[in-house]
Structure 1
Amino acid sequence: MAARHAGIPDGRTHPARIRPTHCRRPRRPGGQNDDRMPFAFGAELNVQEIFANALRHHQAGRLGEAEGLYRQVLAIDVRHADALHLLGVLAGQVGRNDIATDLISKAIALNDQSPDFHINLGNVLLMRDRPEDAAGSFRRALALRPDLAEAYYSLGLALQKRGRRNEAGTAYRRALAQKPDHVEASFNLGNILQEQDKPEEAIACYNRALHYRPDQVEAYCNLGTALQARGRQSEAAATYQRALALKPDLSAAHYNLGNTFQAQDRLEEAVISYGRAVACRPDYAEAQGNLGNVLKEQGKLAAAAAAYGRALIHKPDYVEAHSNLGLTLQVQWKLGEAVAAFGRALAYKPDHVEALSNLGVALLEQGKVEEALTSFARALACQPDYANAELNLTVSQLYRPDVGLADILALSRRWNDIHATRFQDRWPDHARPRNTEEKPRLGFVSADFRQHPVGLLAIPALEGLARAGYPLICYSNSNDNSFREDRLRARFAGAATEWRSAATLSDDALADQIKADGIDILIDLSGYSAGNRLLVFARRPAPIQVACWIGYPATSGLVAMDYVLADRYQIPPGAEAFYTEAVVRLPDGYVAFEPAPDAPTVSGLPALSRDGVTFGSFNALKKITPEVVAVWSSILSRLPASRLLLKTLALDCPATRRYYAEMFAAHGIGEERLRFVGKTTAEQHMAWMGQADIALDPFPYAGGQTTLEALWMGLPVISLPRETFGSRHSLSYLSNIGLGGLAAATPGDYVELACDLAGDLPRLADLRSGLRGRMLASPLCDADRFARDLGAALTTMWQRWHDGRPATLIDMT
């Protein structure tokens, strides 16, 4: 089956921090020095009275009256330093900072021994965005009086504005040493510590600020973000709610509360909180963006797209919203629109790695493999350690016509070396059991315990293992709330001894859970596909680890993986060297197939009632490369009355249909010979299969579940296996039902096989009517037999580990 690529939602939970640094206006006047030139006693008394009166007006906030009286003082005594200083303070209070700078500087020229003068000059310089000069003023104040908490605080502001966080933090600490109840210093120190990724220390600072000022809304908000950084979501939510009790219209608190609800998978509450944030602030683009993310997670795709659209109205350069809109369109198979959305994101930020990687995924789904590879490579050029782009680049290689086992091995080892080896020195020592009489505890990790090709192929085995008495724990890496009504998910839950929802757990937390569960053999069902937890396996939480079963057809490359499950067709003798894991060859096939109970009955051969055969392909378009189109066009050219039915989800997109019509046209195949069908129900999908006579398997990535369903609907499948695991799925299935002769050795043989079969309608009709019987009589449909074989293989792994023997080839053929 096609490995699913990881689309990365972007901008989900960036908290809105409130960052007032309390850059104060010059301080209001208190007591003043009186170091002026002497005057005649009467004049001095008059000046003192006027100045005192001015001071009273100033302290009462009557700035106009105060200004007039200060000017009267200066008319009498031009060298009155206090009047110059306070007139400058007043100018700063009304925003006339250039005048304030001049007046306070003149006061300092007359009296440079007043710390207040220097502090207020520094405050004015800060407001004029001159933090370096301001810092000099604050330092001069501290040279005069080293115990001034206010001067240390203001120095911290200036240094923080210059980006000198360590020095600013020191200044705030000194302010607090002089004045422990300095709320603003505690608050700003908390902000610095949070920026330095020291959330526990930040939490202590915010709590201290709130101890002295319990109504400080900003401190509650930033305390919430610090708690979120520590994963303490419930406490963060309670903190935001306290902020909102004080200020119900604080949009940032509603937004951050929505983030905490989203992190706790409380999606309906998150929707409400983001909605309230927008109600308080209609142009709040980030709240609209995160609302879109939650709606998308809920499967409300049209509403999600509308939310992203509203965000972009208010913030057209909102890169994350463009990228997430692209993801939403992609999920709806509106691939052309998705590509355009990612393009808009990249027009604003060409090095946005999530958009580049997501663009690659959309291009791949359109069948544009080389363009997709270019996009993934661009993402890695921007960020060489970007794990998801590396995963997607590796998966995409499986679709290239010239890909070989050595290529995949090299890429997989590279991913391991960059992303996984750093955990080796943390691998736990797993205690060996005293005996192996009890069956090993099996853990299965997947995002696809649901109606999905991986789920459909895994469920017969897991139910068989459960019937055989193996304890099973399923670690589900998908949003279980979205699949509550999924019938297949209910069957997985019924087979499992225990069910763990893992999607919201960090890699460390999930690894710890697996260790606590005492898992003996941990089996990966994703490999490099979307929803994988390879970095959990890299931590080696279980003593035996099995790589990439069903969900990814290649080696993992991880040194932490012990075994890979296969059969003699998927990994033939001689190919073991291209797998970092020890190969386990099961006796028949590497999966079991359970026919859909609601599959339509097999109809008569359509070619008998039509002029010419209908070939069909029901595979993902990323498998149908230009090289595949060229070979299929050769078949259609050889058989002028034949036609081709292409049915897959991506063909809902008009741009994608045009792309394929043009590719076939380049080989002389007109659109009248092509039938494009997009998304339908599962039952309708299989009914469409019944409209074809012969299925054409893509290469080098063959069909998986799709091949099995086509065979079940009576379609013989022409295949072209190469050396890679993914190219040999159909060979395994065909060989297990005695039709290995439908697997070609070369593209030319492939064309001949298809044309010969199309020219022999009696044989074709005979095959069609007998395929279900062949399958039911084969090991493919014997779930209990497969479960016994798989259980025997797992027990052999378990016994070897118990005996202290390393993983090695297990060949059960």
Structure 2
Amino acid sequence: MPRSNDLSASDCCIDISNLSSIDAAKKINADRIHILIDVGDSTKDLEYEIFALKPAPIQVKLLGHPGTSGATFIDYLITDKQCSPPNLNYLYTEKLAYLNRTVFFGDHRLLFNDLSQRNSQNRTNFNETMCNFESFNTSSMYSVEKLYTRQMYNLPENSIVYCYFGQPYKINQTTLNMWITILKGVKNSVLWLLRFVEDTENNIREYFELNGINPVRIIFSNLAPKAEHLRRIQLADVYLDTPFYNGHKSCLDALWAGTPIVTLSGDSFVSRMTTSQLLAVNCTELIALVEFDYPRIAIQLGKHTNLLNRIRQQIWRSKITSALFDCESYCRELENLYLDMWKKLF
């Protein structure tokens, strides 16, 4: 069942959430659906039982769980050539249907358009940012002006702030070791993370301490509403991606906020998602191709203010016109791709 805010954009919506997998498949087949699209997570619910019954002539996987389904009953995976290079097509059970752009998109330009202009072009330490909510286009915003500062989040004013605002399950030991290398390479730096589970927080602090990093340099903050979250990302200097399993929405947020992201490009879909996003904003120099380069790039950004400022400005310029935040072009590309799939059937 689509989310309620999707219903108004639909010509027809049929609720099959209370049907069994067999009855749902029969309904889809009876309604003569040409292309059945999975936009969910194949590891949840019973939706793949429906797909396994092959109720539609063409069945497609789009986002949801990033990567191959491993299922023979999914005909196509919609992707791009950065996430799924043609030379790695043997890793997929589906045919690869390529968009002529990044497969990712964000609606930030529609919902958070006040962030399309920097409020202070000449900040040097990026310690504070002004938030004017009057131009926000959502009912949850208020017409007030608020100043966000590092002090609000217990961040040191004159330090380099590295951050990661994704789920902790994406952090593996290799990633932690690279983060330790970065903090050791930039003495006047801290790592800013989100607070999810107390045990996770304690384990991370303990691991850093065992490896020679004072745990006070690891700072945790609570989850926040989206508008505040986007603004506070601007207080950080560099966003550190998780190479094993890249950020998706969290990296979209960071790029819309204008914060550089350092990533390490791998072979799998999940380890190439941020590469796709960074290329969409013309930031190839933030993409490490080997493990050694990941901390090297992050340390360079932490030590060279001019480099950091230049890349920030590059992101701010590119994001305005980037396909990454262009929902209309994304829809047009998808429609053309679906038409091509249907034509190939005959």
Quote the residue 2:224 is aligned against: 680
- Is the counterpart of residue 633 in structure 1 residue 147 in structure 2? no
Quote the residue 1:796 is aligned against: 340
Quote the residue 2:73 is aligned against: 560
Unaligned runs of 5+ in 1: 1-474, 477-488, 804-813
C-alpha separation between the residues in 1 aligned to 2:247 and 2:199?
Answer: 24
- How far 1:606 sits from its partner (Å)? 6.8
- Is the counterpart of residue 757 in structure 1 residue 301 in structure 2? yes
Q: 1:769-788 counterparts in 2 under 5 A? A: 769-788=313-332
- How far 1:509 sits from its partner (Å)? 1.6
- How far 1:541 sits from its partner (Å)? 0.7
Quote the residue 1:618 is aligned against: 165
C-alpha separation between the residues in 2 aligned to 1:603 and 1:702?
Answer: 29
Contact 2:126–2:236 (8 Å) recurs in 1: no
Quote the residue 2:60 is aligned against: 546
Quote the residue 1:713 is aligned against: 257
Deviation track 1:352-400 (CA, whole Å, cap 9, x = no partner) reads xxxxxxxxxxxxxxxxxxxxxxxxxxxxxxxxxxxxxxxxxxxxxxxxx
Structure with more relative contact order (C-alpha pairs < 8 Å, separation 6 or more): 2
Contact 2:79–2:99 (8 Å) recurs in 1: yes
- How far 1:694 sits from its partner (Å)? 0.6
Secondary structure, aligned partner of 1:784: helix
Quote the residue 1:56 is aligned against: none
Contact 2:260–2:312 (8 Å) recurs in 1: yes
Structure 2-normalised TM-score?
A: 0.85
Q: 1:650-729 counterparts in 2 under 5 A? A: 651-729=195-273
Larger radius of gyration: 1
Contact 1:523–1:545 (8 Å) recurs in 2: yes
Pick from 87, 92, 97 the counterpart of residue 579 of structure 1. Answer: 92
Quote the residue 1:537 is aligned against: 51
Q: 1:302-451 counterparts in 2 under 5 A? A: none
- How far 1:734 sits from its partner (Å)? 0.7
Pick from 29, 38, 42 the counterpart of residue 524 of structure 1. Answer: 38
Question: Match of 2:247, as an amino acid?
Answer: G
Question: Match of 1:551, as an amino acid?
Answer: G
Contact 1:529–1:551 (8 Å) recurs in 2: no
Contact 1:555–1:581 (8 Å) recurs in 2: yes
C-alpha separation between the residues in 2 aligned to 1:510 and 1:785?
Answer: 32
Quote the residue 2:82 is aligned against: 569
Question: Match of 2:72, as an amino acid?
Answer: V
- How far 1:532 sits from its partner (Å)? 5.3
Structure 2 CA distance for partners of 1:708 and 1:652, relative to 1, 3 Å: closer
- Is the counterpart of residue 593 in structure 1 residue 106 in structure 2? yes
Q: 1:487-498 counterparts in 2 under 5 A? A: 489-498=3-12
C-alpha separation between the residues in 1 aligned to 2:78 and 2:298?
Answer: 31
Quote the residue 1:102 is aligned against: none
Structure 2 CA distance for partners of 1:641 and 1:532, relative to 1, 3 Å: farther
Contact 1:606–1:613 (8 Å) recurs in 2: no
Quote the residue 1:731 is aligned against: 275
Contact 1:702–1:721 (8 Å) recurs in 2: no
Structure 2 CA distance for partners of 1:613 and 1:607, relative to 1, 3 Å: farther
Unaligned runs of 5+ in 2: 128-156
C-alpha separation between the residues in 1 aligned to 2:126 and 2:5?
Answer: 41
Percent of matched pairs sharing the same residue: 27
- How far 1:608 sits from its partner (Å)? 5.7
C-alpha separation between the residues in 1 aligned to 2:330 and 2:196?
Answer: 37
C-alpha separation between the residues in 1 aligned to 2:233 and 2:126?
Answer: 16
C-alpha separation between the residues in 2 aligned to 1:608 and 1:781?
Answer: 24
Deviation track 1:225-281 (CA, whole Å, cap 9, x = no partner) reads xxxxxxxxxxxxxxxxxxxxxxxxxxxxxxxxxxxxxxxxxxxxxxxxxxxxxxxxx
Contact 1:615–1:695 (8 Å) recurs in 2: yes
C-alpha separation between the residues in 1 aligned to 2:292 and 2:239?
Answer: 17
C-alpha separation between the residues in 2 aligned to 1:530 and 1:662?
Answer: 33
Q: 1:467-486 counterparts in 2 under 5 A? A: 475-476=1-2
Deviation track 1:601-641 (CA, whole Å, cap 9, x = no partner) reads 45655736543310010110001112211100100001110
Question: Match of 1:555, as an amino acid?
Answer: T
Secondary structure, aligned partner of 2:78: strand
Secondary structure, aligned partner of 2:292: helix
- How far 1:770 sits from its partner (Å)? 4.4
Question: Match of 2:12, as an amino acid?
Answer: E
Q: 1:208-357 counterparts in 2 under 5 A? A: none
Secondary structure, aligned partner of 1:498: coil
- How far 1:501 sits from its partner (Å)? 2.5
C-alpha separation between the residues in 2 aligned to 1:776 and 1:532?
Answer: 39
C-alpha separation between the residues in 1 aligned to 2:44 and 2:78?
Answer: 20
- How far 1:688 sits from its partner (Å)? 2.5
C-alpha separation between the residues in 1 aligned to 2:119 and 2:298?
Answer: 21
RMSD of aligned residue pairs (Cα, Å): 1.9
- How far 1:797 sits from its partner (Å)? 0.6
C-alpha separation between the residues in 1 aligned to 2:75 and 2:5?
Answer: 28
Contact 2:126–2:234 (8 Å) recurs in 1: no
Question: Match of 1:618, as an amino acid?
Answer: F
- How far 1:652 sits from its partner (Å)? 4.0
C-alpha separation between the residues in 2 aligned to 1:527 and 1:653?
Answer: 23
C-alpha separation between the residues in 2 aligned to 1:655 and 1:638?
Answer: 27
Contact 1:555–1:564 (8 Å) recurs in 2: yes
Q: 1:136-175 counterparts in 2 under 5 A? A: none
Contact 1:607–1:614 (8 Å) recurs in 2: no
Structure 2 CA distance for partners of 1:617 and 1:641, relative to 1, 3 Å: same
Secondary structure, aligned partner of 1:627: helix
C-alpha separation between the residues in 2 aligned to 1:739 and 1:539?
Answer: 43
Higher helix proportion, which one?
A: 1
C-alpha separation between the residues in 2 aligned to 1:796 and 1:599?
Answer: 34
Contact 1:606–1:693 (8 Å) recurs in 2: no
- How far 1:506 sits from its partner (Å)? 1.2
- Is the counterpart of residue 607 in structure 1 residue 120 in structure 2? no
Question: Match of 2:81, as an amino acid?
Answer: R
- How far 1:783 sits from its partner (Å)? 2.2
Deviation track 1:326-359 (CA, whole Å, cap 9, x = no partner) reads xxxxxxxxxxxxxxxxxxxxxxxxxxxxxxxxxx
Contact 2:283–2:311 (8 Å) recurs in 1: no
Contact 2:51–2:73 (8 Å) recurs in 1: yes
Secondary structure, aligned partner of 1:679: coil
C-alpha separation between the residues in 2 aligned to 1:773 and 1:501?
Answer: 43
Secondary structure, aligned partner of 2:285: helix
Deviation track 1:503-530 (CA, whole Å, cap 9, x = no partner) reads 3221112111211222100010124233
Question: Match of 1:674, as an amino acid?
Answer: I
- How far 1:690 sits from its partner (Å)? 1.9
C-alpha separation between the residues in 2 aligned to 1:749 and 1:738?
Answer: 18
Higher strand proportion, which one?
A: 2
- How far 1:657 sits from its partner (Å)? 1.3
Deviation track 1:691-735 (CA, whole Å, cap 9, x = no partner) reads 211100001111111111101111010000100001111100111
C-alpha separation between the residues in 2 aligned to 1:663 and 1:607?
Answer: 29
